[in-house]
Amino acid sequence: MLRLGTREFGTHEPVIMAIVNRTPDSFYDQGATFQDEPALARVEQAVAEGAAIIDIGGVKAGPGEEVTAEEEARRTVGFVAEVRRRFPDVVISVDTWRHEVGEAVCRAGADLLNDAWGGVDPRLAEVAARYRVGLVCTHAGGAQPRTRPHRVTYDDVMADILQVTLGLAERAVALGVPRESVLIDPGHDFGKNTRHSLEATRRLDEMVATGWPVLVSLSNKDFVGETLDKPVKERVLGTLATTAVSAWLGAQVYRVHEVAETRQVLDMVASIAGHRPPAVARRGLA
């Protein structure tokens, strides 16, 4: 059972985490949700389309202008509080690697800290433990925040992913993070080239077999773009194909831009797998 905030999710229940970036330079929407009202409208739409988690980020993942911890907090803390007020049942996640920001957003009502840079600030897990919130433990290949991979090599990329994420997860639990609120993430594109990310996808069942719920962040990423030779705005089909494969292999949480489309893919895979009945079953019965 995965528990985040006030919500519980069954083992075979796919969960959508909708991306809401509070940045003026996000790679996908170029700051469309930087201002409060468009961002709140995005939250309302995502929840209506089936997102159970809202993932709020205050710093672009890639290189760009420096964003201090104070500025990151300014972009996220008040917004977290407002989302908490308007949507009391939604799970609020904050994408940050900094313990100072983690502390501030937990005080404002966050339920989950999404540490996409793989424990580069070990104190973030301590914050999650102190506030008894969830934690995403990600493999980033030892990369520093906001850097791009350069000639990264692994003897066995999945073996490295497992070693790092399981170590982070067990440390989190030892610190006091509730075991049922810890997720592991292979970290597509983070500290990896396209072939690494494809292999991580192909071998996701090895992560699932550990018993920890697996989160994947696939949406419109560079490994999809390079695989199909498509720009950012033409990666939706490749993303959804990767989502279907990940769902079949047992991943549970999906960090996405396109919520409605992802919901259909996940529901279809769940029905094929026998975990969800068809919404309507009339064919051949009338």
Query: 104-117 burial by CB neighbour count: b if 16+ within 10 A, else e?
Result: bbbebbbbbbbbbb
The average pLDDT across 269-279 equals 97
**Of all residues in the chain, what percent carry a pLDDT higher than 70?**
100
Please give the pLDDT value at position 133: 98
Model pTM? 0.96
Q: Give the active site residue among 221, 230, 276, 282.
A: 221
Task: Indicate if the pLDDT at residue 263 is higher than 90.
Answer: yes
Q: Which residue has the tokens 């201090």?
A: 68
Q: Give the active site residue among 7, 255, 263, 276.
A: 255
Indicate the DSSP class of residue 49. Answer: T
pLDDT tens per residue, range 226-260 = 999 999 999 999 999 999 999 999 999 999 999 99
> Is 42 an annotated catalytic residue?
no
Please give the pLDDT value at position 200: 98
Please give the pLDDT value at position 180: 98
Please give the pLDDT value at position 31: 77
CA-only gyration radius of the chain, Å: 18
The one-letter code for the residue type at 264 is Q
Tell me the torsion sign for CA atoms 154, 187, 230, 270: positive
pLDDT tens per residue, range 139-187 = 999 999 999 999 999 999 999 999 999 999 999 999 999 999 999 999 9
Distance between CA 256 and CA 46 in Å, rounded? 10
Q: Which residue has the tokens 């497992």?
A: 162
pLDDT bin (cut points 50, 70, 90) of residue 27 is confident
At residue 42's C-alpha, the angle toward residues 77 and 48, to 5°, is 115
Please give the pLDDT value at position 59: 96
Task: Indicate if the pLDDT at residue 138 is higher than 80.
Answer: yes
Distance between CA 49 and CA 16 in Å, rounded? 10
Query: 207-246 burial by CB neighbour count: b if 16+ within 10 A, else e?
Result: bbeeebbbbbbbbbbbbbbbbeeeeeeebbebbbebbbbb
Cβ within 8 Å of residue 2, ≥6 positions away: 8, 9, 15, 180, 181, 183, 213, 252, 253
> Is 233 an annotated catalytic residue?
no
